[in-house]
Structure 1
Amino acid sequence: MPLVSGIDMLTHAHENNYAVGAFNYANMENLQAIIEAAEELNSPVIIQVTEKSIKYAGLHYLYALGKCAGENAKVPVVLHLDHGKKWETIVKCIRHGWTSVMIDASQKPFEENVVLTRKVVEFAHAVNISVESELGFIGGKEGDITPEDNIYTDVEQAAEFVSRTNTDSLAIAVGTAHGIYKGEVRIDFKRIQEIKERTQIPLVLHGSSGVPDDLIQRAVQAGINKVNFDTEIKLANLEALKCFINEYPNEYDIRKIYEPARKAMKEKIKEKIRLLSSENKNWL
């Protein structure tokens, strides 16, 4: 089946009270692990890339991989641009065939964030592409600041932001951080519920790696409909590679080297899909 629109996927999650896992990929094995995990659990899935991944692998290569995955998968697949900060990158992704994009202007003043987000929404909606935006600021690796620097999303501002931009989904800052969380995680579930009630759109949780499973589940129950996972998948890949190379130090066949890494990533992804209640939510 072809890649599906992020609007359709997140609307289904929003209306049926579950969340879709969004997993980053930068190479073939990484992507295969995501698709195999989703298929085995009959779950819709979002595959996503960052601007850094585009710089590393190339936009054409990543799109070809994503398009192939979507066309051959047995479950709905959305191809998403994660943390898009450059207008040029967002436009290129939409024109190449991405079915969802994120405009991250969260570090800019509120009014500037509104203007930039509305501009992207108008461009993307003309071709039925969904737009994710961010309000508040989620710290950690992505922003190169500490979790204590998080700027929590204000409920009233969120309602105004959604009304003025017509964004399809909103990433909110409620206590998580990019990268592996260090220290005790304190998610503001009440804030999630209040923003959900005021905006009535799909909400997104970034910075979920290292967050205890029960907190992820509570966040979904409170109103989160998309959860990003990246660091823990990379760590599963790394550990599998280390184990294989330690056991077979002279092996040079990359097919043999990456097979256990692909399996390790798949199992970690399946763990995350189960947390989100998206298993057997294949709606196509």
Structure 2
Amino acid sequence: MPLVTSKEMFRKAYEGQYAVGAFNVNNMEIIQGIVDAAKEEQAPLILQVSAGARKYAKHIYLMKLVEAAVEDSGLSICLHLDHGEDFEICKACIDGGFTSVMIDGSKYPFEENIALTKKVVEYAHDKGVVVEAELGRLAGIEDAVNVSDRDATFTDPDQAVEFVERTGVDSLAIAIGTSHGAYKFKGEPKLDFERLEKISDMLPGFPLVLHGASTVLPEFVEQCNTYGGNVKGAQGVPEEMLLKAGKYGVCKINIDTDLRLAMTASIRKYLYENPSEFDLRKYLSPAREAIKNMVKHKMRNVLNCSGKA
């Protein structure tokens, strides 16, 4: 079974008012944990690769791991480039087998973002690949993405409509108050659902995307800190807010920080309790299981996509 695009996944998600999880991958154990969870939950799945992950693991290694996951699981998996910063990296991923790419021109003025996005869309569509773009800027840090609170801007609904019409993009990441990293809110968590509803109403049937949407599960933060970590004051997006977003056209929710926390918490605990152990298989096995269990939780309770594959 070959890799698939997200087009049919998003159509079903929009109609069913749920979201597809897009999980960032960096190595074999993370991929295995995510894919095992999706298979057990019979949930649609997007595996996504950031520029940082691509540099760390190399394009060819990640491709072969994902191809192995498809063959081993029998699942329909979409492979997506997360936060492609320019046409060149998008082209390399399209030519290299990805079925979906994101061109992130959100740092540019509106017209430049449109021109760049349209260029990627034209190249990708000619190859049967779908494209995600971003309008508005999320605060926070993730790999090479680093945006201060001062520079963050929410998505303008009127601009969103114009952007989609002029670029022909397949999905749009919007800014309504989520942020990258583990420290999303300094006070009470709040998302601009009024803005989200307006954008969704103005773009009926069109799939929207939420970046920076990890819930930063407290049990993993506590476990990290208990076993030598220093992850203090971390706070994510409450699960009920993400469930609500699925009712307003959000078809894709990105999850990265929660994967990192689950794996790190498990490894810290194992090494603390087994200080003489140096067989990496011993601590990566429970870490892989922690990834699987966390992803299953997301699919059931946050994305509401279990049984929707």
TM bracket (short chain)? over 0.9
SS in 2 for 1:232: helix
SS in 1 for 2:140: coil
User: Which residue is equivalent to 2:253?
Assistant: 227
Question: Are 1:147 and 1:177, in contact at CA under 8 Å, matched by a contact in 2?
Answer: no
Per-residue CA deviations over 1:143-185 (Å, capped at 9, x if unaligned) read: 3233454200000000000000010000000011001213222
Give the CA deviation at 1:10: 1.7
Aligned-partner residue type, residue 203 of structure 1: L
Tell me, yes or no, if structure 1 residue 278 matches structure 2 residue 305.
yes
User: Which residue is equivalent to 2:178?
Assistant: 176
Give the CA deviation at 1:66: 1.4
Query: Which has the larger displacement, 6-15 or 205-214?
Result: 6-15
Structure 1 distance, partners of 2:153, 2:50, is 22
Structure 2 distance, partners of 1:46, 1:196, is 22
Map 1:234-273; keep pairs closer than 5 Å: 234-273=260-299
Question: Are 1:6 and 1:129, in contact at CA under 8 Å, matched by a contact in 2?
Answer: no
User: Which residue is equivalent to 1:69?
Assistant: 69
SS in 2 for 1:280: coil
Question: Are 1:25 and 1:48, in contact at CA under 8 Å, matched by a contact in 2?
Answer: yes
Question: Are 1:137 and 1:151, in contact at CA under 8 Å, matched by a contact in 2?
Answer: yes
SS in 2 for 1:153: coil
SS in 1 for 2:147: coil
Question: Are 1:147 and 1:176, in contact at CA under 8 Å, matched by a contact in 2?
Answer: no
Question: Are 2:106 and 2:113, in contact at CA under 8 Å, matched by a contact in 1?
Answer: yes
Structure 2 distance, partners of 1:70, 1:198, is 36
Question: Are 2:18 and 2:243, in contact at CA under 8 Å, matched by a contact in 1?
Answer: no
Structure 1 distance, partners of 2:13, 2:126, is 23
User: Which residue is equivalent to 1:161?
Assistant: 163
Matched residues, number: 282
Query: Which has the larger displacement, 7-16 or 62-71?
Result: 7-16
User: Which residue is equivalent to 1:93?
Assistant: 93
Per-residue CA deviations over 1:191-246 (Å, capped at 9, x if unaligned) read: 11211121231000001121111111111122210000001110110110011111
User: Which residue is equivalent to 2:208?
Assistant: 203
Structure 2 distance, partners of 1:270, 1:220, is 17
TM-score under structure 1 normalisation? 0.96
Structure 1 distance, partners of 2:70, 2:13, is 19
SS in 2 for 1:78: strand
Any unmatched runs of 5+ in structure 1? none
Structure 1 distance, partners of 2:297, 2:192, is 23
Any unmatched runs of 5+ in structure 2? 215-235
User: Which residue, out of 145, 150, 153, partners 1:151?
Assistant: 153
User: Which residue is equivalent to 1:40?
Assistant: 40
Structure 1 distance, partners of 2:246, 2:105, is 24
Map 1:13-162; keep pairs closer than 5 Å: 13-142=13-142, 143-147=145-149, 149-162=151-164
Question: Are 1:7 and 1:129, in contact at CA under 8 Å, matched by a contact in 2?
Answer: no
Structure 2 distance, partners of 1:98, 1:71, is 16
Give the CA deviation at 1:83: 0.3
Change (3 A) 1:148 1:264: farther
What is the RMSD of the two structures over their aligned residues, measured on CA atoms?
Answer: 1.3
Structure 1 distance, partners of 2:306, 2:12, is 13
Question: Are 1:106 and 1:113, in contact at CA under 8 Å, matched by a contact in 2?
Answer: yes
Aligned-partner residue type, residue 124 of structure 1: A
